[in-house]
Structure formats: structure tokens, C-alpha cells
Amino acid sequence: MQVRILSDNTVVESRPKGLVGEWGFSAVVDDVLLDAGQAGVAADNAQRLGLDPSDFETIVLSHGHYDHTGGLPAFLHDEPTVYAHPDAFATKLKDGTHIGVPYTREFIDSQAEIVTHREPVEVAPSIHALGEVPRPHPDNPVGDRVTPDGSLEPDPIIDDQSIAVETDRGIGLVLGCCHAGLRNTIEYAETVLDDEVRWVVGGTHLVASDEAGVHDVADWLDGKLEMLAGSHCTGVEAERILSAELGDTFQSIGVGSVVEFE
């Protein structure tokens, strides 16, 4: 099972020529697309990597932020199925600026079949969109959201979900931003699939944690994983701490990276 990174803050491969980074995230999990990046870079990178953006029949949105959904139209060919939490389409703001999905739900629905869910869903054989993640441990909320009555409230980003992949040797977890919290997401995936998480790939949003919080996460992860490949919103300082504490278990990845769940 391969994970290929189409959109990320950095480009880590010099070939093929022309790969572009952006503040955003998109990855291909086997033949399922997780997120679409911010501004069309994901589709362009996909073509340079030999993938056709119109070939994805299944798309999972990790949450409703612009840097994960802005590139969506380039993938909406031949009416794919788009899986998302119902709150992914809420109006989301940060410091008064809109940071939610740049398109209306009606626009997406006109070009795709939208399946909203709060519970885990098997979107392809052995590939699960986890849905709403319980949060007994610290999470990573950002900004505000507009409620149905028009008022503004802090956004817990309950729409945050990740992809969990079943393998013969454990679970591979692919994260968009992990606003639900890394420990919460790992523990929930293990509960849902009744197995242990062995590989984690993607944005961890530890950029929002202080140094002590990152050390707490690293201590909890020590000896648990075979690989933690952090990207996007993990943050430079968090990556430094994770690399120091987890050693070869931690990997930095970016556009062009291919990660395998053995």
C-alpha cells in the first residue's frame, strides 16, 4: 500500500522537474485521494508524477479548510464520490478571514456525489475514513465557525478525520491536519480497526503545540511506531524534537515522497 504526496509545504524530490510546493496537503492512498491542496498544485503535481486527476473515483476530505479543499475542482471529473463530515461545509473564519472550503456545497454536489458521515466508513477495500474522532486528549482547534443561527463560536473542527489503512502488520494512518489531536486519532483508529497503528503519515498540527506538548507526544509515541512521516502543519520545531526523540522512526516528507505500508 503506497501513499504518494501531491501537495505539501515543501518539495523533496528533484525529479520529475516542475514539482511545486504550497501551504496545503494532498495525498494519494492506493487509489483514494485524501484532500486536494490549496490552489491547483496537487493536480499539476499529479500529472507530473504520471497520475491523471480525473481518474480518482473516491475522494476523502480531512476537514473543511481552504488549504485542503481549494484544489478540488481539478479532481471533480466523471462525478467522483466525495466523503466528508457534514460540518466540513460550515463557514469557518480566522481573525475575520474566511478559511473554509472556497466553494459552496451545491457547487461540489453538481459535479460529484457527496457522502457525509460522522461514523467510520470503508471507502475502498481496507481503507477507512474515520469520521468524527473522540477527544479525551489535547486537540488542535483553530478559528471560529458560523452556527446555523448565524452566531460565531470557537471552531473545534469536529469535521477533522483521517484515513486508516488495514494491513497484515497493523494500521497505516494518513492525516490531513489532525486537528482532532494525534494521540486521539491514533487511539480511535486502533479502537475502530482493533489493531495497532504502526505507520503515521501527514500533517500533525504540532506546529500549534508548545515545546512541552510536543515532548509529551514524542514520549507517548516512543517505541510505538515503525514510522512517523510528518509534513505540512507539523512545524519545524516539532520536527526537530520528534527527530531527536524518535531517531530513525521520524521522517520528513514532502511533494513527490512515496511512503509504503509494508
Over residues 52-89, the pLDDT tens digits come to: 999 999 999 999 999 999 999 999 988 999 999 999 99
SS (H, E, C) the chain: CEEEEEECCCECCCCCCCCCCCCCCEEEECCEEECCCCCCHHHHHHHHCCCCHHHCCEEECCCCEHHHHCCHHHHCCCCCEEEECHHHHCCEEECCEECECCCCHHHHHCCCEEEECCCCEEEECCEEECCCCCCCCCCCCCCEEECCCCCEEECCCCCCCCEEEEECCEEEEEECCCCCCHHHHHHHHHHHHCCCEEEEEEECCHHHCCHHHHHHHHHHHCCCCCEEEEEHHHCHHHHHHHHHHHHHHEEECCECCEEECC
Over residues 125-179, the pLDDT tens digits come to: 999 999 999 999 999 999 999 998 999 999 999 999 999 999 999 999 999 999 9
In the structure, what pLDDT confidence band is assigned to residue 38 with cuts at 50, 70 and 90?
very high
**Of the candidate ranges 12-16, 54-58, 252-256, the one whose mean pLDDT is the lowest:** 12-16
**Model's pTM, two decimal places?**
0.97
Task: Supply the pLDDT for residue 46.
Answer: 98
Over residues 170-224, the pLDDT tens digits come to: 999 999 999 999 999 999 999 999 999 999 999 999 999 999 999 999 999 999 9
Q: Give all domains of the chain, ordered by start, each with its CATH number.
A: 2-260 (3.60.15.10)
